[in-house]
Copies of this chain bind each other. A is one copy, B any other.
Amino acid sequence: MEYVLSHVDMITAGVPYKVETDMYLVIKDGYIQDIGHHPLPEHIEKEWTVYNQKGKIVLSGMYNTHAHTPMSLLRGVSDDVELQTWLKQEIWPREGLLDREKVKTSSSLALAEMIKSGTVAFLDMYHLHMDDVFELTMQAGMKAVLSRGMIGFGTKEEQAQKVEEATALAAAWNKNGNGQIRGMLFPHAPYTCPPPFLEMVIAKAHENNLPLGIHLAETSEEVERHKQLYGKPPVVHLDELGFFEGEAVLTHMVHLTEEEIELVHQPNLTISHNPMSNAKLGSGIAPVPAMLKKGLHVTLGTDSTASNNNLDMFEEMRTAALLQKAAGHQSGAVTAEQVVDMATVRGAKALGFLEEGLLQPGAPADFILLDASSLHLQPVHNIFSHLVYSASGADVTDVFVNGRQLMKNRQLQTLDEERIRYDINQSFDDLERMFVKQKEGRS
């Protein structure tokens, strides 16, 4: 697999971001072998397959650090209601009806939607059928950090078994994932995983050198309840339990004190900031400017389509910037460079897919092309600004992971879009039939 993309403009990866015009990228065996300004070296021009991509912008792919792909079936089942109503009356009863087939169609939809909007890698957590998500991700050609989610209820034996199974799965994915998949242990949240269970998971993670993930400090209610139960906020509690000693991704992190922000200021810790989900569920606005000021590794995640309601990381970037500017009455509260950094370089690092640097010779060929001709990107002088403040995932035309083309001119190359559309609607009809039947049975 050797080829050259020529005559592209490229956004360099890393602050300060720059736009380099009229570039070529030489791709070989899944890696970027060379990047340069035209003209092409003569021997490459002669011997390689050259694809002229004039008018396209090369950008690092998007790294989505929080998803629940099996929940894509639940997009739009409930909006505009309080979190507890949403969970208890709409989401959980339907999740109880998800079987292997429905998880598979949901995840297929999510993966296809992510590729279509320029995402090359994601972190996924669900309590069911994650082995199917592994297979799907391999087939789709994306990179992912996968975890079977855990809730710490049941007997001690049941708990131990749960942790054993999740660990075995993570280890198997690490082994069989061809470097594209990494396993993770993801206890759901401090409010669903009591301290002894968390200690068990933490020990297992450290023993097996697996990264940890968790939902943390998402709502103020959850933080208050934790303080009442344990006399301390969940972030402080997790620190005491040793959660922060290894590699970990801390998701949401909306309700934090200055001291708690300082506590998670460690090179091994990543924040997965989910602004649209936190907004939609009324959870609040994470203190991102304070986190960035302290130097925390802040990344971006969409959460599931049940609370977003799409997986477009371009929109997530824009919302991340706009929310902070609005709430802080500061137009510079979070900048375009900062949100691109979160969605690309920092995300790649958090997921373990960044070696030396993105978009440079020696780096995996993970990148996307965007069409610069859309009217909302005119005039094309400051394309970096346009990508953050005007573009959407729909402007992405091509997606490459390890040099393999997952989307070509908006056509998926590794997944069957028509089939996914058919399956997801069949699955949804089936789910709603079961949901209505179950409700009738209860009443």
- Residues of chain A having any CB pair with chain B under 8 Å: 72-73, 75-77, 79-83, 86, 109, 112-113, 116-117, 220, 275-276, 278-285, 305, 308-312, 315, 319, 321-323, 325-333, 335-336, 373, 375-376, 378-382, 385-386, 388-390, 392-394, 417, 420-421, 424-425, 427-428, 432
Contacts and interface: CB of A to CB of B under 8 A. Distances in A.
Per assembly, the copies of the chain total 2
Given A326-B279, A420-B375, A421-B373, A76 B310 contact: no
A309 B113 CA distance: 24
Given A82-B330, A116-B376, A276-B322, 16 more contacts: A75-B378, A76-B379, A76-B385, A76-B386, A79-B388, A79-B389, A80-B336, A82-B331, A109-B378, A280-B322, A282-B333, A284-B326, A326-B327, A373-B421, A378-B424, A394-B394
A120 to B, nearest CB: 17
A73 B326 contact: no
Contacts of A385: 75-76, 79, 309
A382 B329 contact: no
B389 A76 contact: yes
A279 B334 CA distance: 11
B379 A309 contact: no
A279 B327 CA distance: 8
A375 B109 contact: yes
B381 A432 contact: yes
A331 to B, nearest CB: 4
A275 B321 CA distance: 13
Contacts of A280: 321-322, 325, 331, 389
Contacts of A329: 220, 282-284
B285 A327 contact: yes
Contacts of A109: 375, 378
B332 A282 contact: yes
A381 B428 contact: yes
Contacts of A73: 379
